[in-house]
Chain A
Amino acid sequence: MTALRNHNCNYISNVKINFKFDGKSYFAYEGDTIASALLRNNIRLVGRSFKYHRPRGIYTCGIEEPNALVQIISEHNEPNTRATIKRVYDGMVITSQNRWPSLSYDFGAINNILSPIFSAGFYYKTFMGPKGFWKNIYEPLIRRSAGLGKPPKNFRSKSIHQNHNTDILIIGAGLSGLIAARKFVNTKYKVLMIEQDSFLGGILKNSNKVDTINGLNSSEWLEETEKLLSKAQNIKILRNTLVTTYNFTNHFVALEDKFAGKKIDLNKSELTLHKIRTSNTILCNGHIERFISFRNNDLPGVMLASSFEKYIHRYGVVPEERPVIFTNNSSSMSLLNSMLSLGCKPEAYVDSRKNEEIETDIKKILKENNIPSYFEAEIEGCDGNKKIEKITIRKGKIFIKIKSSMLCVSGGYNPDIHLFTQSKGLLKWDKNIASFKPDTPFQKTLTLGSVSGNYNFNKLCDEINEKLSFLNTAKLDFEIKLNVSNKYSIKELWETKSKINSNWSKSFIDLHNDVTIKDLKQAISEGFDRIEHLKRYTTNSMGTDQGKISSINSLAVVSKLLKKEISEVGTTTYRPPYAPLSFAAIAGRSTYEFYDPQRKTSIHSWHLKNNAVFEDVGQWKRPWYFKTHDKETMHQAVQRESKMLRENSGILDGSTLGKIEIKGRDALEFMNLMYTNAFTKMKPMTSRYAMMLGEDGMIKDDGIICKLSDQHFIATTTSSGAPKVLAHMEEYLQTEWPHLQVYLNSITEQFSTFNISGPKTREIMRKVFPNIDFSNEAFPFMSFKNFDYKDTKIRIMRASFTGELGYEIYISPKYGLELWEEMFSCGREFNLIPYGTETMHLLRAEKGYIVIGQETDGTVTPIDLNYNWMIGKNKKDFIGKRSLSRPDTSREDRKQLVGLSPINKTDTIEEGQHIVELNELPKKIKNPIKYLGHVSSGYYSPNLNHSIGLAMIRGGKNLLGKKFFVTVSGKTKNIPVEVVNPVFVDPENKRLIS
């Protein structure tokens, strides 16, 4: 059992590097994958299986690997990495997975002996009862044993996204991909070619199937082609990039490993997620070899034949000098040739085909080299301790035992139909290749070469010329000479019969998820005869490898069991991704500081300097409250701000409020339709609090409407509602009332807006704007005026959301910060304070003003809020009007807005609590408790010195003075409250209007 080096391989350098696997140091050559390096070091056991913890080795040489998954410690602990793909670099640290305490002595292997209880439907049958077990026992148990590797910790990805728009996308740079690409050299088409490997060439590098192309040997032809393609301005090639997703309208997702074979630089992006949109797609993604099920077909040492050959040519390592070859098709001739040319002789050649079906070339080679050959024979099984030691061949009734440590298996080739079916193309069963191949594409998808089911490479050029003729590219003429037979032949063989029956002996159909042929049989006998059900019940092909080497086998086995045609059984649905895609790549830069775009007002820098604590409102960063010193809590700050404002004056950065300019001949009619209020009699240069409903009569948004004239309005909206309100207005203008001549512009960003209010506000305003008359007569409540300010204009409106005397100032952001600072320098002597959104919410609750999204939740009408005065009843129509008289909306017992005051003034009314009739809840609730409503806002009022609440209570309008109870979080004892008028402060509006 020794690996040899193939010195003829040019793709591996002679530079030796070192890496660690499970704590031990090993060598590798630059260019090695983890798998090829381990094979070089004669390491065959690399992991433990998912369910039974059986010893597993390297089964393949690519993306299809079901066994050799490892954890890369030196790359932020990346788990479940395919050893057959991931390239080694100097200093790499790797561990095996799913074993304890060590890979060779794994305690979990006991599962293998207990395997009868882990049979098909194990999860569904075992974790059923008794009640309460799920939460306390089963779930924690499953969570502990689920998965293979351990997740990475504290890792901040710098993955980026790259979008492409292209004419032609070629997936796969193997022989057919390269020929196709050569047809596009220096044409008008923009071409993107994607290759999952770091090299171009496919079978030209992985095997010696191709002898010459137009007289050039394959490496010369490859060199010529690469040169040609790299010079072409219109062709871009991405290497180390795997296409994972084929979406509708020719949209693709592909993942590029930027540090393949290199140590990751944490300051750079290690992955690029390519998002590709193309006009035409050319799939050249080739084929994947499948295995054959036999007894212990999972032992370390079993490997797919073409993978064995790929290790020889692509990585320059012959994993074993004298393996046994087991095949049912003509392709293994290539492996024979490769081995013999290196002076290695297989221990035996086992072919399930009949003597007369086997190509004479193969028979000749076997004979000339004196290789023990068994035709019309099969492998019964293999045995050994954590590796193959003995292989049993069955020929007729005779069993032959052979000693060898490796077994190369070929069950035939499957076109790699995954992407084609993701694109919703239809497949067809082809008897000649005993596999599914693409039939009818659903999108503009072409398949070339072996993915199309054409394994006869000498005819490849004709196929490509024909299929690409519609693009009017030049005809190419390549004469491809092969080292193997020109015609592919295969005899169906999915499983072989076992003569030994024991718990240890298993014939696997899915290596990744430890599904056996026995499991399939059992599931079918239990009635799971539809393939989609069967898959889920047995977890067949549900591993991270998606059953790439085995799913067709399972369909075939199932079809035999059901006595149906395989095309009748069908396939399961192929869904993206083709291979695992890390969340870090999908998220790209949209994490941490870029998780959501942030909007900042022109005053933001001042807020930062003045210790604002921010709150997210939509995408806006708004000051929540300002800290006067480090130890001040939010409660203390809000209480201070609220008290100071009602005593002196406070100012809020309201720049985030949405503003919409509305203008046109029919602006008045439009506004009358959009809002509940009547605007016809409203005087120009006055403003009004207005409400916008949906057609269902429920409140959508509120705001202040300024009327400049019947043709010109400015509407303000809530901060987070601004885009919705503009879209709502545009929708009705465009779709329902195109006859109305009205135009809308969002002017949210064109003004910095300050809301100043409090008893000393008038004095401050006089000092800031000495030329403006702020007297109540000249500047009454709900009026606005424009003034010159430097080289711009400001608009000042008398309005308030706190219940105190207040003004809103609108100024160009150019002067926003300057004016804000000026107001503070003038306001200092009046104790002007900045306040945040939390204080705003508290003050408006004291005044009984509602907040959209807090008192309202999409089920509240203006009538429910006692805002009947806002409804223009005489208007013929407005959006939502008709719904207000629907029986459900006009019910008397709807939840209505009231105020709550605690009877015991030291009690706290919590937001979101229920209102009930019981003073105490039972310890165990057996019958539903009668629910009257909920607390929509709850604050401690520093101005009343007790807690207050706004609540939505059933039939609340008629319950003034009634006593109810409010629940308390985590307690059964409720607090008694009295239903009161929701306006706690200045109900006569004296402060507001004088």
Chain B
Amino acid sequence: MTEITSTSGVNITQKYYHQIIIRGNGLEKFNNIIEEKTSIKPPLKNLEIKYDSNYLFGKNSFDQWSLILITKKDHQQILNLVSSINTNENMLASDYSHGQAYFEIEGENKEIFLNKLTHFDLREEKFPKSTMAQTTIARIECSIYNLGNKFVITCNKSYEDYFQKRLKDTALLSNAS
């Protein structure tokens, strides 16, 4: 965990997680295989996320899932999981562990802060708790997960430096209102 910045009512930290992107048809057999391999029932509804202190499992679209593993693991374990899912003909799992950057945004002003960087509608009725979305933040493609008290944002690792700077800059310039 790295503190990135904090300003009134907003706290941003960077996290280091593992991630696997899974593609498949989402039918019963698919769900069973995923559950067998990961011991987690994949979310069934589009844009739904399931999470606890160990993982964050989101359904990005009707044929794509992102499984974020929060607790630190050996890379070999992740790769084994990926190749064991890939033994199934019509599934594709790709390891995203070290190619993504993870940021967590907490605090009562997190919405207004993020809306300085994205047009995305963060209102509860449009982006409820326990859902995720793929959108653009600070002009780059990101995934955003709503965990109620905080947002988890992931983007490509190559943008890490740029994204950190944009977050810090926005915090610095967020003078009154």
Chain A positions near chain B (C-beta within 8 angstroms): 158, 160-165, 190, 238, 258, 268-269, 272, 275, 277, 589-590, 593-594, 597-602, 604, 620, 661, 663-665, 711-712, 741, 743-745, 747-751, 790-793, 812-814
Contacts and interface: CB of A to CB of B under 8 A. Distances in A.
Nearest to B111: A165
Interface string B149-177: 00000001111111001100110011111
A748 B91 CA distance: 19
A602 B101 CA distance: 12
B31 to A, nearest CB: 16
Given A163-B115, A812-B75, A812-B97, A749 B156 contact: yes
B144 to A, nearest CB: 14
27 contacts: A160-B170, A161-B116, A163-B116, A165-B122, A165-B123, A269-B173, A272-B177, A277-B121, A594-B166, A598-B162, A599-B158, A602-B157, A663-B86, A663-B92, A664-B89, A665-B89, A743-B24, A743-B63, A743-B90, A748-B99, A748-B156, A749-B96, A749-B100, A793-B79, A812-B98, A813-B99, A813-B157
B165 A164 contact: no
Please list the 10 inter-chain residue pairs (A to B) with the smallest Cβ-Cβ separation, ordered nearest first.
A749-B99, A743-B23, A599-B158, A743-B92, A745-B94, A663-B92, A750-B99, A165-B121, A163-B115, A814-B98
Contacts, number: 124
B115 A164 contact: yes
B170 A598 contact: no
A601 B156 CA distance: 11
B69 interface: no
A162 B118 CA distance: 8
Contact of A160 (B89, B116, B139): B116
Contacts of A665: 89-90
B74 to A, nearest CB: 5
Interface residues of B, number: 49
Given A164-B115, A258-B175, A268-B175, A590 B139 contact: yes
B18 to A, nearest CB: 10
A190 B112 CA distance: 14
A791 B116 contact: no
Contacts of B98: 750, 812-814
A711 B86 CA distance: 10
Contacts of B121: 165, 277
Interface in B97-149: 97-100, 112, 115-116, 118-123, 126, 138-140
A620 B157 CA distance: 12
Contacts of A813: 98-99, 157
Contact of A749 (B122, B158, B170, B175): B158
Interface string B13-30: 000000001011000000
Interface of B: 21, 23-24, 63, 74-76, 79, 86, 89-92, 94-100, 112, 115-116, 118-123, 126, 138-140, 156-162, 165-166, 169-170, 173-177
A190 B115 CA distance: 16
Contacts of A268: 173, 175
A748 B160 CA distance: 15
A594 to B, nearest CB: 7
B59 to A, nearest CB: 15
Given A161-B116, A163-B120, A745-B92, 6 more contacts: A163-B119, A268-B173, A594-B162, A663-B86, A748-B156, A750-B95
Contacts of A600: 158, 160-162
Contact of B75 (A277, A663, A743, A792): A792
Nearest to A790: B75
Contacts of B139: 590, 597
Contact of B94 (A272, A277, A747): A747
| Residue picked from B23, B94, B165, most chain A C-beta under 10 Å | B94
Nearest to A793: B79
Contacts of A590: 139
A589 B166 CA distance: 9
Contacts of B100: 749
A604 B169 CA distance: 22
A550 B177 CA distance: 37
Contacts of A748: 99, 156
Given A594-B166, A664-B90, A712-B86, A599 B95 contact: no
B52 to A, nearest CB: 25
A744 B24 CA distance: 10
A269 B177 CA distance: 12
Nearest to A265: B175
Most buried by A among B74, B86, B100, B158: B158
A744 B158 contact: no
B149 to A, nearest CB: 19
A217 to B, nearest CB: 30
A602 B98 CA distance: 10
Nearest to A272: B177
A895 to B, nearest CB: 36
Nearest to A662: B92
B123 A190 contact: yes
Contacts of A190: 123
A661 B92 contact: yes
A604 B159 CA distance: 12
A77 B138 CA distance: 30
A161 B126 CA distance: 21
A161 B136 CA distance: 15
Nearest to B19: A750
Question: Which of A604, A664, A712 is the most central at the interface, judged by chain B CB atoms within 10 Å of its CB?
Answer: A664
Contacts of B99: 747-751, 813
- Which of A160, A620, A751 counts the most chain B CB atoms within 10 A? A160
A792 B77 CA distance: 9
A586 to B, nearest CB: 14
Contacts of A741: 90
A716 to B, nearest CB: 15
A711 B158 contact: no
A812 B157 CA distance: 12
Nearest to A816: B98
